[in-house]
Amino acid sequence: MQTYILKEKNVTMVVMRIVIIGGGFGGVYTAGHLNRLLKNHQEIEIILINKTNYFLFTPLLHEVATGSLSPASIAEPLREIFRKTKVKFYQGEATKIDEESQTVYIDNCSLTYDYLVLATGTETHLRHIDHKEIFELKNLKDAINLRNQIIDVIENANHEKNLHTKDSLTNFVIVGAGATGVELSAELSDFIYGTIIKKYYPDNCTANDIKIYLLHSDNTILSYLNYKIQKYAAKILKKKNIVVRTNTKVESIYNKVITLDNGETIEAHTTIWTAGVIPNHLYTHEEKIKRIAVNDFLQTEKYPNIFVVGDIAKQESPAPMLAQVATQEAKTVANNILALIKNKKLKPFKFKSQGTLLSLGSWRATGEIFGINIHGRFTWWLWRTVYLFKFLSWRKRFRIMLEWTINLFFPRDITKA
Ligand SMILES: Cc1cc2nc3c(=O)[nH]c(=O)nc-3n(C[C@H](O)[C@H](O)[C@H](O)COP(=O)(O)OP(=O)(O)OC[C@H]3O[C@@H](n4cnc5c(N)ncnc54)[C@H](O)[C@@H]3O)c2cc1C
């Protein structure tokens, strides 16, 4: 075990250090559990490193992109979350790990660790597509950029005389009909038809001008969910005027022209890529594009003092890339670090699904809880309530409740950020 000498208030003490890289669902929940387990161990230090100074609630990103929520509502400052805890926050980007010397390099400095938790999540996997051709929905900046783009293209289409260019401005293409693609397309439809067109552009840009495509390479949308959820979601998307194309692959996108695998082309100024992710990790003993292989206790095989949680962890039978997996793994990892410190037996991780809920725009949602399929208005209310209580602070819960209430009486916000 490595030790360090810390001088605090002229008292010298020996400490052990646990470093967590990544302040998303996996990292923040690991830090929270460790804080509870180790609060009386002054000799143990917990450091959380994250690129941004906030924790981002990704399940509501599509609501920011479509004018329902403001960006600050879904971001919780990490310093606020850990204000009265023993977790120390370090804003910065970890650039390298040296597993042998147990060192993490961050921007211009380095930190040694006794235990390391990797929780750096994923990034969009674009394969051969140029970044400049598409919009993503992975972080707050992406959501703001997308909202600005939606407002801009309709503003431009409103005074565009060339019909061909106008078509391209009013075509929206979402690639990937997993949960993110489906939720986003439903919200996008509500934003465009229900707010932008209905309230603000009655003359030169009408509902007939708009086309929203949802493209998916599999033969069914939401392929990993059950048939009833797929069927209900498909019905709602149809009602919302979304053209769903399954068994359709994007071959290339160049100069705003999307070429499909059957040779057909769609011209669109706005293509949103939600089809696939790759891990975003620094572990040197795994290929960059692969999730990090971990044992039953979520440790890497080579270094038992390195744990992995969230989207980048891969057990023998891999759990889905979901927030509920990351938060459950976080608890196991915190308990197992304590067990290692106390020389006790480690516990294996087993994912217990808490069910699935999927929003489909205003007043519509679908899902499965305790093996029962549910959908409709009640499910939509349940979805909102569940997600509201997943926020870490009452401040954000109240803020979101207020914004959602305002949205019941007023159109969504079309201010560009
Ligand atoms: C639009 C969208 C909607 C989603 N909806 C749902 C949903 O409804 N339900 C659900 O269960 N899941 C949902 N997910 C998936 C869920 O967000 C992920 O499964 C979950 O966030 C994984 O947690 P994580 O800790 O592995 O990664 P993340 O939460 O992505 O956190 C990774 C963190 O690491 C930081 N980081 C990365 N590299 C470094 C570095 N080198 N140095 C410092 N910091 C770094 C990042 O800034 C980020 O804060 C959604 C995802 C998206 C993108």
Q: Within a domain: residue 332?
A: yes
0.75 exceeded by pTM? yes
Encoded amino acid at 37, one letter: L
Residue 320 Cα: closest atom of ligand 1:
19
Q: Within a domain: residue 397?
A: no
Contact 21, 49 (CB under 8 A): yes
In this prediction, residue 8 carries a pLDDT of: 54
Question: 220 with 312, same domain?
Answer: no
Q: Is the CB of 386 under 6 A from ligand 1?
A: no
Residue with tokens 């400095």: 109
Question: 134 with 242, same domain?
Answer: yes
Q: Mean pLDDT across the chain, nearest whole number?
A: 94
Question: 265 with 147, same domain?
Answer: yes
Out of 224, 245, 275, pick the residue that ends a domain.
275
> Which CA distances in Å does 193 have to 65, 239, 332?
15, 12, 45
Q: Is the pLDDT of residue 162 over 80?
A: yes
Out of 320, 341, 362, pick the residue that ends a domain.
341
> What is the pLDDT confidence band of residue 10, given thresholds at 50, 70 and 90?
low
> What is the pLDDT confidence band of residue 203, given thresholds at 50, 70 and 90?
confident
Cα–ligand 1 centroid distance for 25 (angstroms): 6
* Residue-wise pLDDT tens digits, 364-405: 999 999 899 999 999 999 999 999 999 999 999 999 999 999
Q: Within a domain: residue 358?
A: no
Give the domain CATH number at 37: 3.50.50.60
Question: 84 with 16, same domain?
Answer: yes
Q: What is the DSSP letter of 210?
A: -
Q: Is the CB of 322 under 6 A from ligand 1?
A: yes
Question: 316 with 261, same domain?
Answer: no
Question: 48 with 87, same domain?
Answer: yes
Cα–ligand 1 centroid distance for 168 (angstroms): 32
Task: Look at ligand 1, atom 35, and give the residue with the nearest C-alpha.
Answer: 22
In this prediction, residue 107 carries a pLDDT of: 86
Q: Which residues does 85 contact at the CB level (< 8 Å), separation at least 6? A: 31, 32, 35, 39
Question: 15 with 53, same domain?
Answer: yes
Contact 208, 157 (CB under 8 A): no
* Residue-wise pLDDT tens digits, 255-276: 999 999 999 999 999 999 999 8
CA quadruple 239, 243, 249, 251: dihedral positive or negative? Answer: negative
Q: Is the pLDDT of residue 149 over 60?
A: yes
* Residue-wise pLDDT tens digits, 114-126: 999 999 999 999 8
Angle, vertex CA 406, rays to CA 401 and CA 409, nearest 5:
135
Judged on CB neighbours under 10 Å (0-12, 13-18, 19+), 402 is: exposed
Q: Within a domain: residue 197?
A: yes
Out of 247, 275, 303, pick the residue that ends a domain.
275
Q: Which residue has the higher pLDDT, 412 or 10?
A: 412
Question: 173 with 256, same domain?
Answer: yes
Contact 266, 176 (CB under 8 A): no
Question: 153 with 119, same domain?
Answer: no
> Which CA distances in Å does 95 have to 98, 104, 120?
10, 8, 11
Q: Which domain, by its residues, includes 12? A: 4-123+277-341
Question: 289 with 253, same domain?
Answer: no
CA-to-CA distance for 74 and 55, rounded, in angstroms?
8
Q: Within a domain: residue 302?
A: yes
> What is the pLDDT confidence band of residue 204, given thresholds at 50, 70 and 90?
confident
Domains: count for the chain: 2
Q: Within a domain: residue 365?
A: no
Q: Is the pLDDT of residue 346 over 70?
A: yes
In this prediction, residue 13 carries a pLDDT of: 65
Q: Within a domain: residue 400?
A: no
Give the domain CATH number at 181: 3.50.50.100
Task: Look at ligand 1, atom 8, and give the residue with the nearest C-alpha.
Answer: 59
Q: Within a domain: residue 401?
A: no
Question: 269 with 281, same domain?
Answer: no
| Arithmetic mean of pLDDT, 204-218 | 95
Question: 152 with 99, same domain?
Answer: no
